[in-house]
Amino acid sequence: MAEQFDMFSKEVSRDRAVKRDISKHAKPEQPAVPMSEEDMVRHLSQTGRYRILTKLAPRAVAPFPRPAYPLKGIILDTETTGLNARKDEIIEIGVIAFTFDATGSIGDVTGIYGGLQQPNVSIPAEITRLTGITDDMVAGQSIDMAALRELIEPADLLIAHNAGFDRPFCEAFSPLFSGKAWACSNSEIDWSLRGYEGTKLGYLIGQAGYFHEGHRAVDDCFALLEVLAREVDGSASTAFAELYEASQRSRVRIFAENSPFDMKDHLKARGYRWSDGSDGRPKSWWIEVGDDALDDELRYLRAEIYRYPEADPPIKRLTAFDRFRA
């Protein structure tokens, strides 16, 4: 037979009295001490279960740049109406000027410019989706060439994350960008050796431990600057030092002119790209290699493609002043 619980029994009253007595002597709980952001980040990171991303804070412009960094660099980014520099137009340009030294150490930010430009056509919907730039935003806007000239003219090196895209657009936009040394932070840095899983700017920023408000031009420039300047344990130098060193080396462009048609897949698989001849280059497959790889590449072409030991494909030597042009 089930027992009935009696709220007024002596046992229940005695239990309540004991609990009241215990509660009188119990020490009050101490309020938790709030953790600082730095402590929380350190604690979560040490567990090994979390990856913490820090919002990028743009560097301030230095009113008095340090003289120990005498060289002048530019990081630039463009937003355009399309992919073809011959017919599409720049709708936004972002520029950050900074100083550095001969070892590739970055000094100070010395200038910033960001401007919109109204194109002659309506901005395609896909471009608006990617960039957030609308026709209303660019209406009546034009890039301030005087402000741009002040930053670009004294620069020793112009850097873009996809220089093969940005340089043709910039040179079509203004002769201000011609005759300058260019470097590509996408193709001239061995990001995989530095532990990165991709070369897109978004991957680099995330794996470096940051996030930013992309996809506007100046924001992307600041993000790239931090990734280039970042010092990583185990790396002998920063990514920028590697990039600057690469920009000092000449490269060779080889044109596999008159190569047999049935060899095109072999060339493509090896990294050759097709030129239709419309830009003044030979109509042929071509590749860029370092000076140290030139002899091996010529041997490959003679043995595997032309199958003629005396074949002499055209070559062109390139410096940072020539590379990444249209």
C-alpha to C-alpha distance for 250 and 293, rounded to whole angstroms: 12
Q: Give dist(CA 86, CA 134) in Å, integer.
A: 22
Give the model's pLDDT for residue 41.
81
User: What is the greatest pairwise CA distance in the chain?
Assistant: 113
Measured over the CA atoms of residue 124, residue 279, residue 162 and residue 104, the dihedral's sign is negative
Residue with tokens 């794996």: 207
Q: Residues 252-286, buried b or exposed e (16+ Cβ, 10 A)? A: bbbbbbebeeebeeebeeeebeebeeeeebbebbb
Per-residue pLDDT reduced to its tens digit, 46-103: 888 988 888 888 999 999 999 999 999 999 999 999 999 999 999 999 999 999 999 9
Look at 2-11, 85-94, 169-178, 275-284 and tell me which has the smallest mean pLDDT. Answer: 2-11
Map residue 150 onto helix, strand or coil.
helix
Q: Please give the Cα distance from 255 to 316 (Å, whole number).
A: 8
Closest CA to 183 of 20, 321, 21: 321
Considering the entire predicted model, what is its pTM? 0.82
CA 159, 160, 164, 165 torsion-angle sign: negative
Question: What's the confidence (pLDDT) of residue 8?
Answer: 46
Cis ω before 161 (30° cut-off from 0)? no
Q: Is 50 exposed, middle or buried (0-12, 13-18, 19+ CB in 10 A)?
A: exposed
At 5, the pLDDT band (50, 70, 90 cuts) reads very low
d(CA 135, CA 204): 31
Q: Which residues contact 233 (CB under 8 A, 6 or more apart)?
A: none
**Residues 124, 81 contacting (CB under 8 angstroms):** yes
Query: pLDDT tens digit string along 118-147?
Result: 999 999 999 999 899 999 999 999 999 999
Distance CA 176, CA 153 (A): 7
Nearest to 219 by CA among 98, 12, 76, 97: 76
Q: Tell me, what's the pLDDT at 139?
A: 98
Three-state secondary-structure class, residue 132: coil
Domain boundaries, the chain: 71-247, 251-318
pLDDT band at 12 (very low <50, low <70, confident <90, very high): very low
Q: What is the side-by-side strand order in the sheet with 106-116?
A: 106-116, 90-100, 71-80, 157-160, 182-184
What's the half-sphere exposure (Cβ side, CA atoms, 13 Å) at 248?
A: 9
Length of the chain: 326
> Residues 11-24: what's their mean pLDDT?
52
Query: Nearest Cα to 164, choosing from 267, 279, 266?
Result: 279
Q: What is the mean pLDDT of residues 188-213?
A: 91
The answer to whether residues 227 and 205 touch, using CB atoms and an 8 Å cutoff, is yes
Interior CA angle at 238 toward 217 and 161, to 5°?
25
Surface-to-core class of residue 302, CB atoms within 10 Å of its CB (0-12 exposed, 13-18 middle, 19+ buried)? middle
The CATH class that applies to domain 71-247 reads alpha beta
| Structural contact between residues 236 and 301, judged by C-beta atoms closer than 8 angstroms | no
Q: What gap in Å lies between CA 128 and CA 23, rounded to an integer? A: 65
